[in-house]
Amino acid sequence: MKFLSIEAFVPSGSNFEGSKQLFLELGFSINWDQGDYIGFQKDECRFILQHFNMPQFAQNFMLSVKVTNVTGFRDMIIEKRLAAKYGIRINDIVQQPYGKELNMIDIAGVCWHFVEQ
């Protein structure tokens, strides 16, 4: 047997529709929509947005996403003014031992680590 993928269930926080729109603006597309669960994909990266609001959980949940151009990704977030539009936080890019990393805190409080190796 071969493992094919892992897809996290990411909490939306109190603004499910806002979270959905944020991920669409980040370049993800919807593969399927089951009401309180939405399957998102960008290239080979997939996750499931869940209509779930528990701040203590979300603020302790982190994901690492490998990208080919972290600077371009950050520039796109800034150009679209997504921080102001959705109340998200983006940090400066930091060189880590494993690559260049950009942290983004989404609407729910989930910390996304976008890493260029």
Domain ranges of the chain: 9-116
| Residue 14 CB partners (closer than 8 Å, separation 6+) | 53, 108
Contact call for residues 53 and 12 (beta carbons, < 8 A): yes
Residue 47 CB-density burial (10 A; 0-12 exposed, 13-18 middle, 19+ buried)? buried
At residue 75's C-alpha, the angle toward residues 74 and 77, to 5°, is 65
Beta strand 62-66 with 111-116: parallel, antiparallel or unpaired? parallel
pLDDT in tens, the chain (117 residues): 999 999 999 999 999 999 999 999 999 999 999 999 999 999 999 999 999 999 999 999 999 999 999 999 999 999 999 999 999 999 999 999 999 999 999 999 999 999 999
What is the model's pLDDT at position 97?
97
Q: What is the pLDDT of residue 20?
A: 98
User: Of 7, 98, 1, 104, nearest to 50 (Cα)?
Assistant: 7
- What's the confidence (pLDDT) of residue 43? 96
In CATH, 9-116 is 3.40.47.10: no
